[in-house]
Amino acid sequence: MKICYISTYHPQHCGIADYTGNLCKALLEGTEDTSITVAAEYGSSRFETERFTCIPCFRRGESYAGNILRVIYKVRPDIVHIQHDYSIYGLNGEFLNFLERLKVRKVVTMHEVHTPETPEKISYGIENLSGNHKRLADLSDMLIVHSGGMSLWLRNYDIDDGKITIIPHGTPNIPVREPSIAKRSLGFSESDKIILSFGFIRYFKNDHLLIRAFKDVTGHVSNVKLVLAGGLHPYSSRMDIEEVSRRRVLVESLGLNEHVKLIEKYVPPEDVPILLTSADVFVFLHDKPFMEVSGALHSAFGACKPIIATSVPRFVEVGEVSPHTLIKPSDREGLVKILIKILTDEEFADDCKRRVARYAALTSWSRVAMQHYSLYKQLSNS
């Protein structure tokens, strides 16, 4: 089976590039009859193996349909699978016309679903919200989303259930490292307890809440450290860029320089296992109702450590797996209490780890890849 993905790809610093890379790797390892071409955004690396080819051919912000179609016509795939991002393809005339010209089985993964709750994201007119998504479904053979909430919003746009499939975001298998070695490699002692928040720097990640809560935790837990790891996204907003200095100023003003480590750069894949192994607990505090899920969260699942998250759609899986570690956005007191409990109550922490590990196994990339493969087979045989 020939599959052509339309996506960002390595070495771009992008969550969807990581997603597509993991999916391709798992599909090639789990099947023998699959060959894959990625029609990728410029910034990806061109390379080719016996069953895999990456062809950089388009650029966001420019007319892209013709360049992508030329690659597809050359490859002649059985399935074209678009890893959709509004900021890359939009959901307007060019993208919908592109789908109409694409005479092959089409799958679109919606990594986010726009809703009326986030009008600031909708560049194609909020009055077109429902109609454009319905048109997208009409022009596609299947839409994939990662959560029930995303599926519900598509149904609210009058899209038939038969056009929607829920496939969870994949979870990587994080190689096991010795925590004491991982902590020392980051400049900590093996007795230090590490609170980790990682991913791109975003103004809505509520790092200020975490820093202030961490200050409270230091009064109750000894040898505790906070690590904020991750750099700016290549397409960061002005507010994201300003967030870098705001965090530094807050850490300084609270007298936490010796207790907070800021790793303000992209963490390459080869360094991720050490970073994640060093942590005793992960924290995710977004406060926006974006209808999406989180790749960084799934990396945390793969590390099988306790996870604290806010009750927003992005972290809905934490509510399903570990509801007792879910907090309301801006709940500093609740965050402090759960952090102290995880860091001081070994039995509670171990229960959190077991819950996370079970979910990591259920959503492993090998399982998720086979769900994709079954869908491709179903569509190609219909």
Which pLDDT tens digit goes with each residue over 312-328? 999 999 999 999 999 99
What is the H or E stretch that residue 83 is in?
strand 79-84
Which residue do the tokens 């109750």 mark?
220
pLDDT value at residue 286: 94
Question: Helices in the chain by DSSP H: which ranges?
Answer: 15-30, 65-75, 86-89, 93-101, 129-138, 148-156, 179-185, 207-217, 238-253, 272-278, 295-303, 316-321, 332-344, 346-362, 365-381
Q: What is the pLDDT of residue 23?
A: 98
pLDDT tens for each residue of the chain, 382 residues long: 999 999 999 999 999 999 999 999 999 999 999 999 999 999 999 999 999 999 999 999 889 999 999 999 999 999 999 999 999 999 998 999 999 999 999 999 999 999 999 998 999 999 999 999 999 999 999 999 999 999 999 999 999 999 999 999 999 998 877 899 999 999 999 999 999 999 999 999 999 999 999 999 999 999 999 999 999 998 899 999 999 999 999 999 999 999 999 999 999 888 999 999 999 999 999 999 999 999 999 999 999 999 999 999 999 999 999 999 999 999 999 999 999 999 999 999 999 999 999 999 999 999 999 999 999 999 998 8
Q: What is the pLDDT of residue 1?
A: 96
Sheet holding 193-198, edge to edge: 260-263, 224-229, 193-198, 281-284, 307-310, 326-327
Does one domain contain both 107 and 206? no
Write the CATH number for 114: 3.40.50.2000
Query: What pLDDT shows up at residue 177?
Result: 78
Classify burial at 279, counting beta carbons within 10 Å of its beta carbon; exposed 0-12, middle 13-18, buried 19 or more. Answer: buried
Indicate if 140 and 238 belong to the same structural domain. Answer: no
Dihedral angle at the C-alpha atoms of 143, 144, 146, 149, nearest 10 degrees? 20
- 108 and 215 assigned to the same domain: no
The reply to whether 149 and 188 lie within a common domain is no
CA angle 95, 106, 293 (to 5 degrees): 75
CA-based nearest residue to 37, from 19, 56, 13, 18: 56
Are the C-beta atoms of residues 219 and 337 closer than 8 Å to each other? Answer: no
CA distance 122 to 92: 11
Round to whole Å and give the CA distance between 197 and 297. 10
CB 171 within 8 A of CB 22: no
Instruction: Give CA angle at 329 (327, 331), nearest 5°.
Output: 65
Query: Do residue 358 and residue 374 come from a single domain?
Result: no
Q: Are residues 243 and 140 in the same domain?
A: no
- The conformation of residue 42, written as its DSSP 8-state character, comes to B
Q: What is the C-alpha separation between 221 and 224, in angstroms, rounded? A: 6
Residues 130 and 277 in one domain: no
- pLDDT on residue 176: 75
- How far is it, in rounded angstroms, from Cα 286 to Cα 132? 27
* Claim to verify: residue 165 and residue 273 sit in the same structural domain: no
Tell whether 125 and 44 lie within a shared domain: yes
Whether residues 129 and 276 share a domain: the answer is no
Block residue for tokens 């509510």: 319
Same domain, 228 and 264: yes
CA of residue 215 relative to chain centroid, distance = 28
On whether both 311 and 340 belong to a single domain, the answer is yes
**Pairing of β 47-48 and β 52-58:** antiparallel
Tokens standing for 265?
Answer: 């750069």
What pLDDT is stored for residue 382 in this prediction?
82
Domains contained in the chain, number: 2
**33: containing domain:** 2-170+364-381
